[in-house]
A and B are shown apart, each in its own frame.
Chain A
Amino acid sequence: EPEVTQTPSHQVTQMGQEVILRCVPISNHLYFYWYRQILGQKVEFLVSFYNNEISEKSEIFDDQFSVERPDGSNFTLKIRSTKLEDSAMYFCASTVGRAFYNEQFFGPGTRLTVL
């Protein structure tokens, strides 16, 4: 069964460093998403991406964040200068089409620890 994959599973970085989190969505999916979950808090929507541009973003997704689909398979989230409060689990998701009746398939997540 096709699945969303994410690498690495755990990333440790120093405050101020740039990190890139990688995702490989399901191959025939067209919409891609990033969510994050700070420990003990809710899963929060960050951004959606379609046709090589951001479709929607939350207020969390500020100028420190960027997304890219550098090739036909990968979907990346870059945090330019990490802060302690960026420590969280980051989930990638993909779906065949927009609107909620198209199921969002989630990856296993990348745990980011900022020291």
Chain B
Amino acid sequence: AQSVTQPDIHITVSEGASLELRCNYSYGATPYLFWYVQSPGQGLQLLLKYFSGDTLVQGIKGFEAEFKRSQSSFNLRKPSVHWSDAAEYFCAVGLPMYSGGGADGLTFGKGTHLIIQP
């Protein structure tokens, strides 16, 4: 079965420092890849997604992610974090229908809680 691993439960970063959140997936084919963010009391908001093509994708709020097929990874990065980036970050995958996956349900990682130090 497909799975998503976010190895870091908590990450603390100083404001203005760079950020990288790790995500690895386990599946034979390349799934659709997503990063979501959840601020306290809010729903999950899509930051960016990868389907095909350029392996470096740009998202909202200055985030980017790089797909590396050889490492089955889709790490999220930001060059300079702001205090407002403190939130829970979720990596998720979806299987294309032609790969035998259901077209509907996303598979999520456990999330990484990002703490910003002043």
Q: List A residues at the B interface (Cβ < 8 Å).
A: 3-4, 31, 33, 35, 40-46, 48, 55-56, 58, 91, 93, 98-101, 103-109
B 79-118 binary contact with A (CB < 8 Å = 1; else 0): 0000000000010101011000011111111110000000
Interface residue total, chain B, C-beta cutoff 8 A: 27
| Complexed CA–CA distance, A91 and B106 (Å) | 12
Cβ–Cβ contact A100 & B106, under 8 A: yes
A-B contact number at CB 8 A: 69
Q: Which of B10-18, B22-30, B41-49 contacts A (4 or more CB under 8 A)?
A: B41-49
Distance (Å) between the CB of A35 and the closest chain B CB?
8
- Cβ contacts under 8 Å, A103 to chain B: 46, 49
Cβ–Cβ contact B45 & A106, under 8 A: yes
Q: List B residues at the A interface (Cβ < 8 Å).
A: 4, 32, 34, 36, 41-46, 49, 51, 90, 92, 94, 96-97, 102-111
Which residue on chain A has the smallest CB distance to residue B93?
A100
| Complexed CA–CA distance, A33 and B107 (Å) | 13
